[in-house]
Structure 1
Amino acid sequence: MRIFIFCSTFIILLTLTLKAYAHSKTVTLATHNLCPYGCYDEHGEFSGTAVNVVKYAMAQMNFDLRIEVVPWKRAQRMSYEGDADGFFAASHSEKRDRNGVMSATIAGQIWKWYQLKTNTLDPKSDNFKSEAKVAAFSGSNMLHWLKMNNYNVVAEPPSTKHLMNMLLYERFDAMLGNNLTMKRYIAKQNLAGQIKSTAYKNKPVGVYFSNRFIEAHPGFITEFNKHVNEYRKQPASP
């Protein structure tokens, strides 16, 4: 009888310990420095519209979150190779679907064409695709999409800043960019008088969790999505 009680108690304690351990595990997500989704403030803290959603959901689920800030192409590779549990903030693509599962939307995004106001090519015209020299930053879904759809891609620099510098020097006719990031950059650099934009695609972003992570955590994505939607329904801070 004593042995039975001891064994039962041991099993209960072991179960509780394992559950506590499971819920205290750290989730590592890779991302890049891209305002307003995630960037460093004047105090060196990494935050943003996408980061804040992810932090909230993880806290509600009692998971510790470690964010690795690296170049975007590397962030995705870290997830694919098992060095991270996922990456964000990423728009949907079939290529990414092969390596992971996309969460609910954590932030909005619209792809827009950006050109110098002096450029006469119209992104909405039938001849734009055949005549325009275009660009997008390395590792982006935008760049992948342009190549898959046979646009004349002539540059793929590592960042939005590099793209804009090349555009200003007329190295290409148009770049495909993120509306929120570009709006912020254009305002900061006082470029509104030189740049025009044309809306192209609605491409909201989420977190891509690796297949490996999802398989090891049944039910995780459902609960994560619940808390993401919960956060996004909250009224915005004044």
Structure 2
Amino acid sequence: MKTMLLHLCLLTPLLLATSSTHAKAVKLVTFAYPPYEYATGNGADGIVVRIVERAFDHLGEDLVIHVLPWKRALHMVRIGQADGIFTAYRTKDRLRFLDYSRVVLMPQVLSVWALRTADIAYDGSLDSLGDTSIGLVDDISYGAKVDEAIRTGRLRLLDYAPVSAQNVKKLLHGRTDAIIMNKYGAIHHLLKHNGLKRVVELTPAVSSEPSYLAFSKVRGLTALRDRLDKVLEDMIATGEYQAIIDGYFAERNAGASLQALVEANKASALR
């Protein structure tokens, strides 16, 4: 018994220190949106995950990232169960419970993707897609332009799925005419399903929307947000930000840049 008590006494400071470390770690939530952020066996990875992790390394802050369904992630920051969320579009509703970073975490180009065999008369306006069935992700903001078209009924034939991967599968199997999706996210999933050559990115792009890391107002972390902005600015200015992006895609494309894939898709669409 004395030995057990001694062991407990020796372990208690360590346990308290470990608990304290986890308590101090900044808890961020995100959702599965490859190649930007997604869960792995060891936690999370992706372009934006790596950028955020590097930024918090510079800040000297411990960090925990949880990949969750987007609806749950939003609820957690709304009630203060998580410190922050990414990659979030800036909306009027979310401004009520989120303190957004000033520096854009990741600009996201939204495009319309369709099978090459489809006859879609897209002229660059969302009105031209009024009679086209479009796959979207549930509870995701697509930025002011698309959100307004949905709200006003200009986009009428909407087919929602919980995650982007399901929309890509529906497109490839002909169950929806088109999808509106972030360019690099679409390329990621289409490559995964050997579908990039069967699909074309319609031009022009729908929009380019900035996405951010935003902190829960309940948690009162505006000082941390301001420090993060400064670090992100420095990372962008020094080229560290772009180097992280280039390094990620080089790992997954045998050293080839993602831009080469984008150009190849455009070229094949002209043939």
Work out whether the TM-score is over 0.5.
yes
Query: 1:142, 1:118 → 2: CA distance?
Result: 26
Contact 2:26 2:61 in 1 (8 A): yes
Query: 2:33, 2:131 → 1: CA distance?
Result: 30
Alignment map for 1:187-202 (pairs within 5 Å): 187-198=191-202, 199-202=205-208
Contact 2:215 2:222 in 1 (8 A): no
Query: 2:110, 2:124 → 1: CA distance?
Result: 17
Q: Deviation string for 1:158-208 (max 9, x for gaps)?
A: 111110121123322221101111111212222122111121110122112
TM-score, length-scaled by structure 1: 0.79
Query: 1:64, 1:204 → 2: CA distance?
Result: 26
Deviation at 1:154, TM superposition (A): 2.7
Alignment map for 1:28-177 (pairs within 5 Å): 28-40=27-39, 44-103=42-101, 104-124=103-123, 127-142=127-142, 145=147, 146-150=149-153, 151-177=155-181
Contact 2:43 2:66 in 1 (8 A): no
Query: 2:135, 2:105 → 1: CA distance?
Result: 26
Query: 1:88, 1:44 → 2: CA distance?
Result: 19
Name structure 2 gaps, 5 residues minimum.
1-19, 248-271
Identity of aligned residues (%): 22
More helix by share: 2
- Partner of residue 189, structure 2: 185
Query: 1:169, 1:48 → 2: CA distance?
Result: 27
1:179 partner amino acid: K
State how many pairs are aligned: 213
Name structure 1 gaps, 5 residues minimum.
1-20
Pair 217,40 (structure 1): closer, same or farther in 2 beyond 3 Å: closer
Alignment RMSD? 2.4
TM-score, length-scaled by structure 2: 0.70
Query: 2:55, 2:81 → 1: CA distance?
Result: 21
Q: Deviation string for 1:109-162 (max 9, x for gaps)?
A: 101111111221233266524322222111211297153242114311011111
Contact 1:154 1:172 in 2 (8 A): no
Contact 2:108 2:208 in 1 (8 A): yes
